[in-house]
Structures are given as C-alpha cells and as structure tokens.
C-alpha cells in the first residue's frame, strides 16, 4: 500500500574520506529526531565493520548487512514494516537491482538516502551509481582534500595504493587479501599506471 506522501531519493556521492557516511548518519539521526522509523543497510561484502556504519570521524549507527539489493525490500516492504527512512551505504557494491529497489522504496513513500563512490580507483564510473545519480531527486556532492604534501587542492578521486605503489589500471576493482590502502587525491595527483606500459618502461 502506497504512502499518502511522495517518496524522495537522495544520492550522496564523493571520493573516500569526503564524509559520505558521516552525511548519511547525520540524515538518519535527523529523521529519528523527527520520530521517523529508520532502517539502514550495508552490503555484506563491506567487511570493515559488522552490522554498523562507521564514519572516518568515528560516528557509528546500527545497520543491517544484506547480500543483495532485493534483500532490502524483504526487510522493509515484505511485510510492510512502517519504515519511513531508508539509508543505504556503499551503493556501488550492490548488484544492478539497487536501482529498481530504490525506485520501489520511493514509490512506497519512503525517504531514501543512498551513499556511494561515484568513481572507482581508476577514476571511472563505479557500479550503478551513475544511474542512481540520474534518477535522484537530490544529489549531494562531497569532496575531500588531496593528501599529497603541499597540495591541499580539492580531492575528487580515490587513490588506491597496493604494497606501497599506485594500483595498476588492470587490477580488479575489488582486491581480496591485498595489502592495500586508499588516499583522497586531486585530479592532478591521481595516479593509475598501466601495467604493460610500466613493465616495458622498466626493461629499457
């Protein structure tokens, strides 16, 4: 049964360390202050913390881990639970159903807030974030500050470092078991070398 009030879709985008999770938590807490029923979800492949969302500044909030986007509807609409606010973390990791799931939530009058990386470590569109951004009623674009010494320019890219060097373009989007870290970088300091070019250069 549809709510009398229309739904609303907010998509929060930005690089790592730009405050996406912090903004999602802020909006969820604001909804709770208004006595709205709130439910938060995160993909199970995000193993950094179990059943909580945690921002880089240390704020936390309880969340339900789900293995697929459709599972969100199972928690919220089947049966209908009266949830009025749904927050979804790391949207770029969900399968293609995340788009239709968000549309279903909004169609049922639910205020839906989605947070995710709009660009992968290569600087290319990540997952189904482009379509979510196109369908959003409101887009929140966040940036970080480039971590390269002496730069301090606006960072819109996420730099992946693997074993102390920039990740290669040919590396998989998700690396399991690698000693990797991430840094916010501006466009000029974002490095994505090609593996073949690098190997050829080293042999000459």
191 is annotated as an active-site residue: no
Q: What contacts 115, CB < 8 A, 6 or more positions away?
A: 11, 12, 13, 20, 21, 23, 24, 87, 88, 89, 90, 91
Residue 189: exposure state from Cβ atoms within 10 A (0-12, 13-18, ≥19): middle
Cα–Cα dist 57/37, whole Å:
25
Select which of 89, 90, 103, 149 is catalytic.
90
Q: Torsions phi, psi of 130, nearest 5?
A: -55, -45
Q: What contacts 151, CB < 8 A, 6 or more positions away?
A: 186, 188, 189
> Is the CA virtual torsion 187, 190, 195, 196 positive or negative?
positive
Give me the active site residues, please: 90
């Amino acid at each position: 049964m549809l709510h009398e009030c229309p739904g609303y879709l907010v998509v929060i985008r930005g690089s790592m360390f730009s405050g996406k999770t912090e903004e999602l938590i802020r909006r969820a807490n604001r909804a709770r202050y208004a006595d709205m029923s709130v439910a938060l979800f995160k993909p199970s492949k995000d193993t950094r913390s179990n059943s909580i969302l945690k921002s880089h500044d240390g704020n936390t909030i309880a969340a339900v881990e789900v293995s697929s986007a459709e599972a969100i509807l199972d928690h919220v609409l089947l049966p209908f639970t009266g949830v009025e606010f749904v927050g979804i973390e790391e949207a770029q990791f969900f399968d293609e159903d995340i788009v239709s799931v968000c549309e279903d939530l909004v169609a049922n009058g639910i205020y839906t807030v989605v947070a995710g990386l709009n660009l992968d470590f290569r600087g290319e569109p990540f997952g189904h974030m482009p379509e979510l951004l196109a369908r959003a009623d409101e887009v929140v674009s966040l940036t970080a500050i480039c971590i390269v010494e002496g730069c301090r320019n606006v960072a819109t890219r996420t730099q992946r470092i693997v074993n102390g060097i920039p990740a290669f373009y040919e590396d998989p989007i998700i690396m399991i078991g690698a000693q990797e870290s991430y840094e916010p970088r501006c466009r000029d300091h974002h490095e994505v070398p090609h593996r073949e070019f690098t190997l050829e250069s080293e042999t000459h």
